[in-house]
Chain A
């Protein structure tokens, strides 16, 4: 479909952020080289430009960081909650002040559109620190008994899809409850965590309370296995989550896992179609579908399938893919060549298994990692694309006739993270939400987040909750 309006480019300025040519590991309040001197490059997924060279943590660095965190734990956990609270409030405020800088940085390093980092990620990052700051001096009232105790050193491993937001989800409750932290950001998106280290410095956070170790899976594995780590928190793939569960077996380490999903977005025949279409688009094309709670399976009631798909295709044709720094961009770059290859392979598998593939007319930039928004129809439950998490902008459409069938199909997955329900009938929302085995159910909306609201999965989507009062439990000895 030819565009009615041509949009002039509206790029956000890169000048708000200074990226240094190289960064170290952040251990005990100092930036340091890796013990073995290893470094790796981080690139901008939209251009493949090298942004910076970053120290690559190894086992010796993990040990050093855990020791620093252990040493800092004594004083940090003994601080009155009201003092810890003030540190967290400071961090929240500095994040707000520097949010444009961080948004641009995140977009450069991750490839997601600036409108998402600016309007979704950063406000939520600040809000998480603000929310948990307020808990630090009220833990006696959190429902976990009087005087609940911190666990000690928290080893945290986070993914590349929401680098700074996942950091906030992990660090804010850990610090509020009196734990100290060693965090390993993903190898493709280390920069915002390193900028966060600078925010800790600005806030005057005591040395060793937060340690940041950019690196690969081996550093994460060493951190998880370190005998002096008391708590392990991981967000990422289900396969790695299972590996971590095996590693901590037989230890006293407390474990929370936020893993994959294959969320069902269920649209009933009485749903407000235009709103549902917006929700479907948000559900699967937000952050190029690289979202664990993405609504990657559309379950549409058979009687409205044609109408809904026509609307959806029309809407998809208006999405703009391109420069993530452009304020008008809806679809940015895929995070890495590796991830692009994975998405490409799964989409090809979908075609090979007989599902019908459709994408809007969409020109992909010449450099960088790109994948057009893609929709599959004629999908059955047996198809790989209906079962495996794709973690990309690929939507599988299935149909159903009755609410019971919708529930059965929605629950027919190893995962149980998120689901959506679209109907005007309140009793149907509640009846269906009640039967869905998923940690988050959005009705007549999708992909909404808030620091006061617990998030986490059933089944193989992991265990534990992040956010809200429930999120405190993961970091307390209860």
Chain B
């Protein structure tokens, strides 16, 4: 019987078509190009979109459009949404363990440790959204009758070159601090291992993170980064995923509109981070107002 023969044949699996994540949607690359992504042993895993300059520019437009709403959201609200991302990641834990194991050539237990650390990292940053202002801002005791407050504000659209080696934990460690403080991000996934990043986009899309807040591009890091570093509507760039030569080239391009630049540095992504990845993309605004106070001798009870 035909039913019986079907059971003896191994089932043909359904491949996933990986796509970019721009403005809350999942487009293919404008260029129509893809590149082969393999595991650490060279086995073909999938074709990933190879983004073009136009994809990068579209992502900046989406990130700019999202900036007003995201930076204007309450810190509490942003914290809720970031925590929601962690919840959704937890639900897809097995999928990410498989993808990280494939991407980085790790054993299942080691990949599981990476995914757990990644989920915990989201939770860590979810808790920062409504505390960073208290840690980095404050009242300044100026010598005069003025009320004077300094508060941090997001710097705007941040281009993020995700680390090349740590395709998931490293990625989240550089993206979460950028958006926790109200910036929006255009992220270039690890060139060799982009799949966990493209799958993370699916989590973000279903986690109440507004479209455009995080945009994920895959492809050649140097090719996509160049137009982003030179883009006049990008306010900052994190060079984590650039090698020394590329980092220098991009930093020079970034000087044209005085982008804030975070240079590449050696980081152990398993360690609890400091707040530097957040403060690197924050401005300090100081607001003055006369108090009308008369000084110690001018009033009495």
Contacts and interface: CB of A to CB of B under 8 A. Distances in A.
A440 interface: yes
A202 B187 CA distance: 55
A459 interface: yes
Contacts of A462: 258
A463 B258 CA distance: 8
A441 B260 contact: no
Given A246-B252, A249-B248, A453 B258 contact: no
Interface in A234-260: 238, 241-243, 245-246, 249-250, 252, 257, 259
Nearest to B68: A435
A257 B260 CA distance: 11
A450 B284 contact: no
Given A450-B148, A454-B150, A143 B135 contact: yes
B274 interface: yes
Contacts of A145: 274
Given A127-B143, A250-B251, A439-B285, A241 B290 contact: no
B257 interface: yes
Contacts of B285: 433, 436, 438-441, 458
Interface string B125-155: 0000000000110101111101010100001
A475 interface: no
Interface stretch (A25-33, A312-320, A465-473): A465-473
A445 B146 contact: yes
A439 B284 contact: yes
B288 interface: yes
B286 interface: yes
A455 interface: yes
A443 B287 contact: yes
Given A444-B290, A454-B286, A465-B284, A238 B142 contact: no
Nearest to B258: A460
Nearest to A245: B255
Interface in B263-295: 263, 274, 276, 283-290
A275 B276 CA distance: 41
A456 B284 contact: yes
Contact of B258 (A445, A459, A465): A459
Contact of A442 (B235, B256, B288): B288
A453 B148 contact: yes
B9 interface: no
Could you say which of B136, B141, B284 has the most chain A C-beta atoms within 10 Å of its C-beta?
Answer: B284
A448 interface: yes
Contact of A445 (B244, B248, B288): B288
Instruction: Label chain B's interface by main secondary structure.
Output: mixed
A468 B140 contact: yes
Nearest to B289: A443
Contacts of A238: 258
B274 to A, nearest CB: 7
Could you say which of B150, B274, B276 has the most chain A C-beta atoms within 10 Å of its C-beta?
Answer: B150
Contacts of A243: 255
A241 B259 CA distance: 12
A63 to B, nearest CB: 23
Could you say which of A250, A252, A444, A478 has the most chain B C-beta atoms within 10 Å of its C-beta?
Answer: A250
A445 B287 CA distance: 10
A453 B286 contact: yes
Given A250-B251, A433-B287, A470-B284, A242 B256 contact: yes
A450 B287 contact: no
A257 B288 CA distance: 22
B185 interface: no
A246 B138 contact: no
B290 A445 contact: yes
Given A445-B290, A452-B142, A249 B255 contact: yes
A340 interface: no
Interface in A124-150: 127, 143, 145
Could you say which of A246, A429, A455 has the most chain B C-beta atoms within 10 Å of its C-beta?
Answer: A246
Given A441-B286, A443-B288, A458-B283, A245 B150 contact: no
B22 interface: no
A444 B247 CA distance: 44
A429 B287 CA distance: 10
B294 to A, nearest CB: 16
B258 A452 contact: no
A414 B257 CA distance: 8
B28 to A, nearest CB: 34
Given A242-B255, A469-B138, A441 B288 contact: yes
Contacts of A441: 285-288
A245 B135 CA distance: 28
Contacts of B254: 245, 249
Contacts of A455: 286
The 7 closest A-B pairs by CB, nearest first: A250-B248, A245-B255, A249-B251, A450-B142, A453-B140, A249-B252, A452-B140
Given A242-B256, A259-B258, A438-B285, 10 more contacts: A241-B258, A257-B258, A441-B286, A442-B288, A445-B146, A448-B144, A454-B140, A454-B284, A455-B286, A459-B235
5 contacts: A238-B258, A439-B283, A448-B144, A448-B146, A453-B286
